[in-house]
């Protein structure tokens, strides 16, 4: 068990130091907590910006490479509240359309964030740079995207629920990311998005946009994609293997650019597969009980 000793090489972060004195060398009083040295950090309380003035302030700002932040089961909390239940209703958050205000914001390489909950942030939950890991983190009710990673990012065992934009994404400039074993549910746009990203073993359900939205060069494998308000899976020159795609409002698979699909169970969507010659079967699929797809 962690005993709270700085001498064991882990540095504590708390609401008290964040507000009153600053938690670290060169970190002044007030949010954000600015991390300017590589190393391991751990929360010993919730971090809450509600009622502290500027809603666009980040809670933790990482300004060094190779920083690991253990949320230690605590919450990062901001002032945003959201209403509306996707897929039938849009997800409206207030305040909305602010630019900043992330739970953890890092443009540096090698950031890791794990083991806690981030809720109500105006910007989003976690936004991090090249080679970022996000593990066992729940992000809900943010006015942005729940978790955003850059090139080489790995998102594992996370939950993104009820965010205004997407749940989990590797942005359009990102390549070679992995999103795995995670859940994106009832977010305001696509549940999960990626470019040249491996999207494996996730659940994307009840989102207002697509369940999974890919740009060029992604692999979408063994996901459950159900009850989303647009197509279940939008494939932009990508590969879809062994997914269950059910009960989405538009197509099961919407191919945009040359894509392959095989081993998918595509049932109960408004349409099975769109894209014409762009959608190539690379293995047997089942479309509404028929082995002929679309
Ligand atoms: Ca500070």
* 122-178 pLDDT, tens digit each: 999 999 999 999 999 999 999 999 999 999 999 999 999 999 999 999 987 889 999
Exposed, middle or buried, 17 (CB in 10 Å: 0-12/13-18/19+)?
Answer: middle
What lies within 8 Å, CB to CB, of 228 at 6+ separation is 87, 191, 204, 205, 206, 207, 208, 209, 210, 211, 248, 249
End-to-end CA distance of the chain, in Å?
A: 55
Cα(253) to ligand 1 centroid in Å equals 46
Confidence of residue 181 (pLDDT cuts 50, 70, 90): very high
Record the tokens describing residue 208, joined without a space: 């207002």
Tens-digit pLDDT profile for residues 31-82: 999 999 999 999 999 999 998 888 889 999 999 999 999 999 999 999 999 9
Tens-digit pLDDT profile for residues 90-99: 999 999 888 8
Cα(199) to ligand 1 centroid in Å equals 36
Tens-digit pLDDT profile for residues 224-249: 999 999 999 999 999 999 999 999 99
What CA–CA distance (Å, rounded) separates 144 from 44? 26
For residue 55, what pLDDT is reported? 82
For residue 1, what pLDDT is reported? 37
In angstroms, the Cα distances linking 211 to 50, 72, 206, 281 are 31, 30, 8, 21
Cα(40) to ligand 1 centroid in Å equals 18
Is the pLDDT assigned to residue 285 strictly greater than 50?
Answer: yes
For residue 8, what pLDDT is reported? 66
What percent of the chain is predicted at pLDDT more than 90?
A: 91
What CA–CA distance (Å, rounded) separates 110 from 120? 25
For residue 6, what pLDDT is reported? 52
Cα(81) to ligand 1 centroid in Å equals 24
Cα(145) to ligand 1 centroid in Å equals 24
For residue 171, what pLDDT is reported? 81
What CA–CA distance (Å, rounded) separates 54 from 60? 14
Closest CA to 128 of 105, 146, 160, 157: 105
- Read off φ and ψ for residue 276, nearest 5 degrees: 60, -130
Question: Alpha helix (H) ranges present in the chain?
Answer: 15-20
Sequence ranges of the domains in the chain: 66-230
Cα(179) to ligand 1 centroid in Å equals 31
Is the pLDDT assigned to residue 215 strictly greater than 60?
Answer: yes
CATH architecture of 66-230: 3 Solenoid (2.160)
For residue 287, what pLDDT is reported? 98
The beta-carbon contacts of 265-273 under 8 Å, at least 24 apart in sequence, are: 266/232, 266/293, 269/231, 269/232, 269/245
For residue 4, what pLDDT is reported? 42
What percent of the chain is predicted at pLDDT more than 70?
A: 97
Cα(49) to ligand 1 centroid in Å equals 12
Partners of 127 in the β-ladder? 105, 148
């Amino acid at each position: 068990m962690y005993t709270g000793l700085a001498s064991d090489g882990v540095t504590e972060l708390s609401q008290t130091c964040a507000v009153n004195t600053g938690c670290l060398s060169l970190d002044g009083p007030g949010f954000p907590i600015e991390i300017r040295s590589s190393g391991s950090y751990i929360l010993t309380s919730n971090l809450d910006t509600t009622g502290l003035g500027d809603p666009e302030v980040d809670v933790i700002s990482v300004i060094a490479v190779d920083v690991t932040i253990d949320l230690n089961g605590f919450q990062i909390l901001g002032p945003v509240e959201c209403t509306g239940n996707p897929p039938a209703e849009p997800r409206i958050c207030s305040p909305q359309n602010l630019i900043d205000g992330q739970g953890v914001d890092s443009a540096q390489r090698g950031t890791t964030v794990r083991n806690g909950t981030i809720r109500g942030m105006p910007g989003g939950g976690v936004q991090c740079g090249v080679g970022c890991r996000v593990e066992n983190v729940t992000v809900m009710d943010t006015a942005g995207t729940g978790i955003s990673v850059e090139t080489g990012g790995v998102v594992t065992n996370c939950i993104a629920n009820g965010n205004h934009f997407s749940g989990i994404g590797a942005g359009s400039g990102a390549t070679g990311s992995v999103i795995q074993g995670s859940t994106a549910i009832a977010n305001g746009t696509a549940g999960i998005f990626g470019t040249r990203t491996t999207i494996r073993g996730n659940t994307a359900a009840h989102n207002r946009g697509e369940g999974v939205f890919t740009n060029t060069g992604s692999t979408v494998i063994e996901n459950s994609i159900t009850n989303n308000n647009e197509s279940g899976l939008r494939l932009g020159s990508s590969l879809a293997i062994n997914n269950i795609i059910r009960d989405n409002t538009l197509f099961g698979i919407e191919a945009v650019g040359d894509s392959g699909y095989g081993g998918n169970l595509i049932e109960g969507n408004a349409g099975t597969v769109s894209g014409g010659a762009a959608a190539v079967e690379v293995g047997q699929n089942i479309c509404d009980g028929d082995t002929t797809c679309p």
